């Protein structure tokens, strides 16, 4: 479908929806409701409406050109409606392949079935209930894997011997809900004998996906009748998204670089240390082939051919994939990717990803030589 006619269709549909939402409204408020055209404009500018994104075009060349049921829940509106049962099929499962170029439109989130949705089941198998209007968000942003997949792949195997032809395990992309839920969701690789923080509830007024994110623009909400940003009420230096990365509440030097920095920078520092630990560990086990991670190129896990501790573009090629994971390295790499592929982790649950990375560094330390001395575990 042409982009223009697609948006026209959305506009006509949106008008009808307004009446319907108006009659059935889930959360009636005193504040004047945003007009449907305002809502539609906001939505059009969001990633959910980006009909050109790889996310909605990845299967175009397949025969037949459709999104397989296992991917359709999050990669098409038709698949999401199938998942919630809005298409008359069973709820909680996807029966049919999804449509290509079918981004997250109004009818994904606005159906009786979606409005009634009040829980989410994470890939770990853990169910969280009472999730209200954030349920849809959490369903698509809950990720595709969990620490349990890593546990299964490593169970009973010697920690420091290559498993053999083992690719990196990740939990997919933008899994904000999985990170935010912390150990309540159980999606990180949690080491035995350690305890982990649960859901990061943040502060009153910004406790859920939909109180913090405008569900249509996806940006942070703009409080009504106020000149301040949603964040500024509590973080006085934050006037817009440029400053999110400067917020520092905990005032702890987690990464041990001698400076108390923002949560964002502490996480960045911990990431660098964990990458160092993983590459030095890999050089000291098996045949010494060095591992490195490169987030921009699938499958992200590569051989560091010149052993300089980083993967450059020339090394990030599919044939140069690293598949010599030992159980210990596979666990650490999972936690690393869990953090890297959720760029908002510093807002959604910084402490959880710091704990996971700290424990990964510690687990590798005897062989990697990178220790936790000077680091602080939240």
Which of 72, 77, 80, 82 binds Ca ion (CB under 5 A)? It is 82
Of residues 161 and 298, the one with the C-beta less far from ligand HEC: 298
Cα–Cα distance, 84 to 81 (Å, whole number): 5
Cα–Cα distance, 71 to 98 (Å, whole number): 8
- For the CB of residue 336, give the shortest distance to ligand HEC in the complex, in Å: 16
DSSP 8-state secondary structure symbol assigned to residue 257: S
Cα–Cα distance, 176 to 308 (Å, whole number): 32
Pull the structure tokens for residue 189: 């690789």
Of residues 64 and 258, the one with the C-beta less far from Ca ion: 258
Residue 100 makes CB contacts below 8 A (sequence gap 6+) with 56, 57, 59, 60, 65, 66, 67, 76
Which of 55, 89, 320, 321 binds Ca ion (CB under 5 A)? It is 89
Residue 27 near which of ligand HEC, Ca ion, none (CB within 5-8 Å, type-dependent): ligand HEC
- For the CB of residue 205, give the shortest distance to Ca ion in the complex, in Å: 29
- For the CB of residue 212, give the shortest distance to ligand HEC in the complex, in Å: 3
Residues 200-259 that bind Ca ion (CB under 5 A): 253, 255, 257, 259
Residues 260-299 that bind Ca ion (CB under 5 A): 261
Residue 101 sits in the site that holds ligand HEC (CB under 6 A): no
CB 280 within 8 A of CB 371: no
Cα–Cα distance, 44 to 281 (Å, whole number): 46
Which of 62, 222, 237, 241 binds ligand HEC (CB under 6 A)? It is 241
Strands 291-293 and 127-129: unpaired
Which of 151, 163, 167, 234 binds ligand HEC (CB under 6 A)? It is 234
Residue with tokens 């592929």: 341
Q: Which of 318, 322, 295 is nearest to 307 (CA)?
A: 322
Residues 117-156 that bind ligand HEC (CB under 6 A): 133-134, 136-144
- Residue 54, number of CB atoms within 10 A of its CB: 8
Which of 10, 100, 150, 356 binds ligand HEC (CB under 6 A)? It is 10
Q: Widest CA span of the chain, in angstroms?
A: 67
- For the CB of residue 361, give the shortest distance to ligand HEC in the complex, in Å: 20
Residue 82 near which of Ca ion, ligand HEC, none (CB within 5-8 Å, type-dependent): Ca ion
- Count the residues in the chain: 378
Residue 306 sits in the site that holds Ca ion (CB under 5 A): yes
CB 139 within 8 A of CB 120: yes
20-49: burial string, b at 16+ Cβ within 10 Å, e else: ebeeeeeeeeeeeeeebeebbebbeebebb
CB 98 within 8 A of CB 72: yes
Cα–Cα distance, 55 to 340 (Å, whole number): 18
Of residues 21 and 113, the one with the C-beta less far from ligand HEC: 21
Cα–Cα distance, 378 to 369 (Å, whole number): 22
Of residues 263 and 367, the one with the C-beta less far from ligand HEC: 263
Residue 6 near which of Ca ion, ligand HEC, none (CB within 5-8 Å, type-dependent): none
Residue 172 sits in the site that holds ligand HEC (CB under 6 A): yes
Residue 306 near which of Ca ion, ligand HEC, none (CB within 5-8 Å, type-dependent): Ca ion
Residue 348 sits in the site that holds ligand HEC (CB under 6 A): yes
- For the CB of residue 334, give the shortest distance to ligand HEC in the complex, in Å: 17
- For the CB of residue 207, give the shortest distance to ligand HEC in the complex, in Å: 6
* Piece in contact with ligand HEC (CB under 6 A), picked from 153-161, 198-206, 328-336, 359-367: 198-206
- For the CB of residue 126, give the shortest distance to Ca ion in the complex, in Å: 21
Residue 304 sits in the site that holds Ca ion (CB under 5 A): yes
Q: How many residues of this chain bind Ca ion (CB under 5 A)?
A: 12
Which of 113, 167, 218, 297 binds ligand HEC (CB under 6 A)? It is 218
Pull the structure tokens for residue 124: 């770990």
């Amino acid at each position: 479908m042409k982009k223009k006619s697609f948006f026209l269709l959305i506009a006509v549909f949106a008008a009808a929806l307004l009446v319907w939402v108006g009659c059935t409204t889930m959360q009636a408020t005193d504040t004047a409701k945003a007009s449907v055209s305002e809502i539609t404009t906001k939505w059009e500018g969001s990633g959910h409406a980006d009909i050109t994104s790889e996310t909605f075009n990845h299967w175009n060349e397949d025969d037949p050109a459709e999104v397989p049921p296992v991917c359709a829940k999050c990669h098409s509106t038709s698949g999401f409606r199938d998942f919630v049962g809005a298409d008359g099929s069973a709820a909680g499962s996807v029966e049919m392949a999804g449509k290509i170029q079918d981004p997250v439109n109004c009818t994904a989130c606005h159906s009786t079935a979606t409005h009634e949705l009040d829980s989410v089941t994470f890939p770990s198998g853990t169910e969280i209930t009472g999730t209200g209007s954030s349920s849809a968000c959490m369903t698509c942003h809950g990720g595709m894997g969990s620490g349990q997949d890593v546990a299964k792949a490593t169970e009973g195997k010697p920690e420091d011997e290559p498993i053999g032809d083992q690719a990196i395990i990740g939990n997919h992309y933008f899994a904000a809900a999985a990170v935010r839920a912390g150990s309540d969701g159980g999606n990180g690789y949690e080491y035995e004998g350690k305890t982990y923080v649960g859901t990061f509830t943040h502060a009153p007024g910004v406790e859920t996906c939909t109180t913090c994110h405008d569900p249509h623009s996806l940006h942070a909400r703009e409080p009504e009748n106020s000149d301040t940003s949603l964040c500024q009420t509590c973080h006085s230096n934050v006037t817009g998204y440029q400053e999110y990365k400067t917020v520092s509440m905990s005032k702890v030097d987690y990464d041990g670089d001698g400076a108390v920095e923002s949560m964002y920078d502490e996480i960045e520092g911990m990431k660098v240390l964990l990458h160092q630990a993983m590459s030095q560990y890999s050089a000291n086990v098996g045949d010494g082939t060095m591992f490195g991670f490169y987030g921009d190129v699938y499958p992200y896990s590569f051989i560091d051919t010149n052993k300089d501790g980083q993967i450059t573009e020339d090394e990030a090629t599919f044939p140069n994939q690293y598949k010599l994971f030992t159980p210990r390295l596979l666990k650490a790499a999972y936690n690393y990717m869990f953090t890297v592929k959720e760029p908002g982790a510093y807002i959604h649950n910084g402490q959880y990803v710091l704990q996971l990375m700290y424990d990964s560094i510690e687990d590798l330390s005897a062989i990697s030589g990178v220790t936790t001395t000077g680091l602080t575990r939240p």
